[in-house]
Amino acid sequence: MFGYLIKRLIQMLLVLWVVSVIVFLMMSFTGDPVFMVVPIDATDAEIAQARRLLGLDQSLLVQYWKFLTSLLQGDFGRSYVFRQPAMTLILERMPATVEMVLVAMALAVVVAIPLGVYAGANPNSRLSRIIMASSLLGISLPGFWVGMVLIYLFAVHWGVFPSSGRGDTAEIFGLRVSLLTRDGWHHIALPAITLSLGTMAILLRMTRAGMMEVSRQDYMKFARAKGATRRDVLYKHGLKNALIPVVTIFGLQLGDLIAFATITETIFSWPGMGKLLIDSIYRADRPVIVVYLMLVALIFVVINFLVDIVYTLIDPRITLK
């Protein structure tokens, strides 16, 4: 167990290092950030001065070394636009994103798993066909377009939900959370539904596929030969086995939600880190982009690690090596 943890830790650091190299290289090829910090009428001397201050006059290798050492020292640079530490900016907005992602994930799980189990258990029923067709529609829809249609219908046309913003928040353990206020729920409903649809469809299809695969197993027939009801066989014997593949993609789906949150937040003007990323891309605010990517990489790596742990808890055959 201990050896496994060490091994995983080294793997995680390696992935983060690779990401840091890629992020750094890509950023070096992007436009010249010096023009983001100097005034429009700056002289050549001022530009050269700014370039030196930003360290842009040195070789790539030196720049990378500086980039890496400052990352490791917790110095993530300042936003060119906000003139604040980039990390602070991101961390301020992170709770809003995490909140929306979690609500969307919860929604996806609650809807997808029962429907997926039903569709897998009754593959030929009419309702299953409808469920499967809808789920296919779910992965065929552009998420941003769904958000837009929801805004048009519920905000513009009927005026029952707000079209943007986060609404009232309450503070708990120093975090601003909208799930504690009625207004907060009112605001998060549309963006969370929009965000959840794709993941919902994928989880549903995975659950169904898992159920169908499991239905063919001998132990399901053996359980029925014991006299268990069809329902018990499905839920007590089938579901847990069927969910193993679902758990393996759970981490990836959480990652997808974080990624797609950038788009959802942009549509609904949700003040999260995804919207900050898109704004920063428009403004070429390099330090913010870098911090976002490194932080998200860290989150993904940790999620994947946790998924592996959960995996071993569900399946007694798997041991951590």
Partner 1 sequence: MTTFLNSEFFHNYTRSSSAIIGSTLMALFAFAVIAGPFLVAQNPYDIASLDLMDSYKPPVWLDGGDPRFWLGTDGQGRDVWASILYGARISVFIGLVAMIASCVIGTLLGLIAGFYGGIVDSVIMRIADVQLSFPSILIALFLMSAVGTGVDKVLIALTAVGWVVYARTVRGSTLSEIEKEYVQAARVAGLPNHKIIRKHVLPNVLTPLIVIATIQVGTFVLIEASLSFLGVGVPITQPSLGLLIKNGFDVLFSGLWWTSVFPGVAIMMLVFGINLFGDFLRDELNPRLK
Partner 2 sequence: MMKDAANTALLTVRNLRTYFHTFSGTVRAVDGVSFEIGQGEVMGLVGESGGGKSVVGFSILGLIDSPGKIEGGEILLEGRDLVTAGEDHLRHVRGREISMVFQDPMTSLNPLHTVGRQMDEVLRLHSDLRADARHKACVDMLESVGISRAAERLKAYPHQFSGGMRQRVVIAIAMLANPKLIIADEPTTALDVTIQSQILKLMRAQIADKGASMILITHDLAVVSEMADHITVLYCGNVVERGATRDLIETPAHPYTRGLIDSIPDTSERLDRLSQIPGSVPDIRNLPQGCNFRDRCPRAQALCAQKEPPLTPQHNGLMAACHFPLHPGERL
What residues line the site for partner 1 (CB under 8 A)? 15, 18-19, 23, 26-27, 29-30, 133, 136-137, 139-145, 148-149, 151-152, 156-157, 163, 252, 255-256, 258-260, 262-263, 266-267, 278, 281-282, 289, 293, 296-297, 300-301, 304
* Rounded distance between C-alpha atoms, residue 53 and residue 68, angstroms: 17
Here the tokens at position 225 are 């030969």
| Residue 166 touches partner 2, criterion: CB under 8 A | no
Query: Of 145 and 222, which has the nearer Cβ to partner 1?
Result: 145
Please say which residue, 182 or 230, places its beta carbon nearer to partner 2: 230
Integer angstrom CA distances of residue 305 from 90, 252, 257? 23, 11, 17
What x/- string results for residues 100 through 139 when contact with partner 2 is judged by CB under 8 A? ------------------------x---------------
Does residue 314 bind partner 2 (CB under 8 A)? Answer: yes
Of the candidates 13, 226, 302, 309, which one interacts with partner 2 according to CB under 8 A?
226
- Which does residue 281 bind out of partner 1, partner 2, none, counting CB within 5 to 8 angstroms by kind? partner 1
Choose the contact partner of 136 out of partner 1, partner 2, none; CB within 5 to 8 A by kind: partner 1
Number of neighbours of residue 285 by Cβ within 10 angstroms: 24
Site string for partner 2, 199-218 (x = CB under 8 A): ------------------xx
Position 1 contacts partner 2 (CB under 8 A): no
CB of residue 300 to partner 1, shortest distance in Å: 6
Q: Is 219 one of the binding residues for partner 2 (CB under 8 A)? A: yes
Alpha carbon distance 107, 114 (integer Å): 12
b/e burial code for range 63-99 (CB count within 10 A of at least 16 → b): bbeebeeebeeeebbbbbbbeebbbebbeebbbbbbb
Contact 15, 263 (CB under 8 A): no
* Residue 171: its H or E element: strand 170-172
Choose which of 79, 241, 264, 304 interacts with partner 2 (CB under 8 A): 241
d(CA 216, CA 221): 8
Alpha-carbon distance 192 to 106, whole Å? 10
Q: Does residue number 227 form part of the binding site for partner 2 (CB under 8 A)?
A: yes
Residue 224 interaction partner, one of partner 1, partner 2, none, beta carbon < 5-8 Å per kind: partner 2
CB nearer to partner 2: pick between 39 and 316: 316
Beta-carbon contacts of 226 under 8 Å, excluding residues fewer than 6 positions away, are none
Q: Name the minimum Å distance from CB 238 to partner 2.
A: 9
Note the helical H segments in the chain: 2-29, 34-37, 44-54, 60-72, 86-121, 126-140, 143-150, 182-215, 218-225, 230-232, 239-268, 273-282, 286-314
Q: Would you say 285 and 81 are in contact if contact means Cβ atoms under 8 Å apart?
A: yes
Binding site for partner 2 (CB under 8 A): 124, 217-219, 221-230, 236-237, 240-241, 314-317
